[in-house]
Amino acid sequence: MPTWFQTTAIDYPNSRPHIGTAFEKLGADVQARYRRMEGYDVFFLMGNDENTAKVSRQAARLGLDPQTYCNDMARQFRSVWDALDISYDVFIQTSSERHKQCCRKFIQKVYDNGYIYKGSYEGWYCPECEEFKTQKQYDDSGGLCPNHRLALVRRTEPCYYFKLSAFQDRLLQHYQQHPDFIQPESRRNEIISLIQTEGLRDVNISRLGEDWGIRIPFDPEFTIYVWFDALLTYITGIGYGDDESTFRKYWPADVHFIGKDITRFHCALWPAMLWAAGEQAPRRVFAHGFVYVKNEESGVVEKISKSLGNVIEPMEVISKFSSEAFRYYFLRECPYPSDGEFSWSRFAEVYNAELANNLGNLLSRCVNLIVKNYEGVLSWAEGPLPQAVVASGELPEFVERVRQQVESFHYHLALQAILRELLTPTNQYLEAQAPWKLVRTDAAAAAQVLGRAVESLRVAAILLKPFLPRTAATLYHSFDFTEPWEQVRYATAAQPPVSGRQRRVIAPLQDGKLKPLFPRIDLSEANLHT
């Protein structure tokens, strides 16, 4: 059984996740679900990045000790991920004792291998934030802290450096030999040009005088600074340091899903850290885009931020509509490798046009026609078995196209194909054949027509399974397809169903009718703005 190990970025628990954070997890979840379907032994890792000064300060503000605060935030994060049906296997908290121990083993190893040395770091420091600011931040804000508007001071402190510079050539060579290591390609080009034009400097991986965090084993006055701790969840989460066999089974990771803003840490620093400890680099890093919020009144597209007051929490959308609608919107409307936008009006448009009118209504019309005219059972004793209606070419080729899009993380294109090449053509086919008329003169022919529509729904259910796990199951279980739902894979969609000559509606009915799969959203009722 092939393994598939994937991770998402671990999040700072300074505040609860917003829709942008969820976008990343969603894209990762589709991949995890797809790989499970296809027979991989999947390990899907997520977690929170807790060992930061900001976390301990936020906890202090709330009068909590950091651990209590972190545990509570972790619980809140997980409840959001659960509500979205994110199918992670393990959720790591970096404040956990296990992570800390494994982390210390790693850094000790890198130290023993000679890639860590003591030096001093000089930079612009904000005493209020208790952290260093970048030169760019200094320049942009005229030497003031962007948060506190206090003058930044020049500060020097002893620290430990990781010899990132030693891996420059090896990294470039690695990118050369593994062209799809960094995706999408635009990010790859950025990283390569960064290294080629500016080179890599050694990085400070320690902090002095922090209570909260992981002590450096060879000098306990220091704690490990974020990246050198956070990135390690990707291996401590699968047993690095205390469960060698699990670690060897899953490492190297098949893909790290991250935001485009942290590409460099994952594509340069992380492989170098691993090499310094004698481990392999991950196979692939996928940097997705961001979600922006379109202001409903002004039409201005804004970055999601607390100060702009435009933060939308996933639970807000889920409780108004559903997790499936949430998943569909972001997977369909926001191209995973690029940026996307959210607005309530666009949400309603996409939902109505595609989920309610196209998919949901197709199921309704099929089920109701079969129930009314055939007492819920279609049979076709003679002739060819009904085939799904696809726009062009053969069904297997269509399924293959969708598969390609899923495997390359182009989820919006996969969903677009399902819609345009399968569902819409099926609606068109019904219109052209008009089985509601045909049944009066030739019931057998009408049964063939409906059989083809039902076949389209079967194919759609299977292809949609990674995207909309609940909807896909409901669709599939509306009919008596005999292949067990747990065992279907993409290849199943391309083959005719095992049970050939009869198809029964088994969807629950109310007063002889099917309850809408996705009830339309009425914009005029607009309870959208909270």
- Total number of residues binding RNA (CB under 7 A)? 75
How many CA atoms lie less than 13 Å away from 290 in the CB half-sphere?
Answer: 11
Q: What is the dihedral of CA 219, 225, 228, 231, to 10 degrees?
A: 140
Which residues neighbour 521 within 8 Å (Cβ) at sequence distance 6 or greater?
Answer: 321, 348, 351, 352, 356
In the complex with RNA, the residue whose CB is nearer, 103 or 325, is 325
Q: Given candidates 54, 78, 163, 320, which one binds RNA under the rule CB under 7 A?
A: 54
Helices and strands in the chain: count of H runs, count of E runs: 23, 19
> Binding residue for RNA (CB under 7 A) from 67, 76, 108, 137?
137
What's the min distance (Å) between Cβ of 519 and RNA? 5
CB of 111 to RNA, least distance (A): 17
Long-range contacts, 123-131 (Cβ 8 Å, 24+): 123/154, 123/155, 124/152, 124/153, 124/154, 124/155, 125/152, 125/153, 125/154, 125/155, 126/150, 126/152, 126/153, 127/153, 130/53, 130/57, 131/53
Q: How many residues does the chain have?
A: 530
Q: Pattern of binders to RNA over 259-278, x per CB under 7 A?
A: xxxx-x--------------
For RNA, give the closer residue by CB, 2 or 199. 199
Q: How far apart are CA 53 and CA 260, in angstroms?
A: 23
Burial level of 519, CB count in 10 A (0-12/13-18/19+)? middle
Which tokens go with 379?
């049979």
H-type alpha helices, 267-335? 270-276, 314-320, 323-333
List binders of RNA among 279-318 (CB under 7 A). Answer: 290
- Angle subtended at Cα 342 by Cα 336 and Cα 347, rounded to the nearest 5 degrees: 105
Q: How far is the CB of 4 from RNA (least distance, A)?
A: 23
Using CB under 7 A as the binding rule, whether residue 517 contacts RNA is answered as yes
Interface pick for RNA out of 133, 174, 332, 452 (rule CB under 7 A) = 133
382, 370 contact by CB (below 8 A): no
Q: Are 239 and 246 in contact (CB under 8 A)?
A: yes
Q: Which C-beta is closer to RNA: that of 111 or that of 167?
A: 167
* 525: contact with RNA by CB under 7 A: no
| Closer by beta carbon to RNA, 32 or else 152 | 152
For RNA, which stretch binds (CB under 7 A), given 28-36, 91-99, 256-264, 490-498?
Answer: 256-264
Closer by beta carbon to RNA, 201 or else 248:
201
Q: Produce one character per residue of 214-252: b if its CB has 16 or more CB atoms within 10 Å, e if not.
A: bebeeeeebbbbbbbbbbbbbbbbbbbbeeeeebeebbe
Q: Name which of 55 and 238 has its Cβ closer to RNA.
A: 55
Q: Give the max Cα distance, the chain.
A: 90
**DSSP codes, 26-76:** HHHHHHHHHHHHTT-EEEEEEEE---SHHHHHHHHHTT--HHHHHHHHHHH
Q: In angstroms, what is the C-alpha Rg of the chain?
A: 27
Query: Smallest distance from the beta carbon of 495 to RNA, in angstroms?
Result: 26
**Closer CB to RNA, residue 121 or residue 329?**
121
Our finding on whether 134 is near RNA (CB under 7 A) is: yes
* Structure-block tokens of residue 519: 């009830």
* Of residues 145-164, those binding RNA (CB under 7 A): 164
Residues 5-24 that bind RNA (CB under 7 A): 9, 11-12, 18, 20-21, 24
Peptide bond into 484 cis (omega under 30): no
353 CB-near residues (< 8 Å, 6+ apart): none
- Token output for 349: 């448009």
Nearer residue to RNA within complex by CB, 132 or 336: 132
Q: Is the Cβ of residue 130 or residue 243 nearer to RNA in the bound state? A: 130
Question: Which of these ranges, 59-67, 125-133, 245-253, 481-489, lies near RNA under the rule CB under 7 A?
Answer: 125-133
| One character per residue 464-503, x = contact with RNA (rule: CB under 7 A) | ----------------------------------------
Closest CB 73 distance from RNA, rounded Å: 13
Site residues for RNA, 375-434, by CB under 7 A, read 420, 424, 427-428, 430-432
> Residue 77 or 247: which CB sits closer to RNA?
77
Is 4 or 81 the residue whose CB approaches RNA more closely? 81
**Residue number, 23 or 247, with CB nearest to RNA:** 23
List the interface residues with RNA, window 349-368 (CB under 7 A): 349, 352-353, 356-361, 363-365, 368
CA 257 – CA 183 distance, rounded (Å): 10
Q: What's the CA gap between 257 and 286, in Å, rounded?
A: 5
Tell me which stretch binds RNA (CB under 7 A): 66-74, 374-382, 480-488, 512-520: 512-520
Least distance from C-beta 447 to RNA, angstroms?
A: 14
Strands 509-510, 285-288: parallel, antiparallel or unpaired by DSSP?
unpaired
* Shortest Å distance, C-beta 315 to RNA: 16
| The token pair that represents 316 in the structure block | 């807000």
Smallest distance from the beta carbon of 35 to RNA, in angstroms? 23
Tell me whether residue 360 or residue 469 sits nearer to RNA (CB atom). Answer: 360
Contact with RNA (CB under 7 A) among 128, 495, 516, 526: 516
Interface with RNA includes 79 (CB under 7 A)? Answer: no
Task: Specify the residue, 41 or 122, whose C-beta has the smaller distance to RNA.
Answer: 122
According to DSSP, the residues that pair with 160 across neighbouring strands are 118
Applying CB under 7 A, does 67 fall inside the site for RNA? Answer: no
Binding positions for RNA, 166-225, rule CB under 7 A: 186, 189-190, 193-194, 197-204
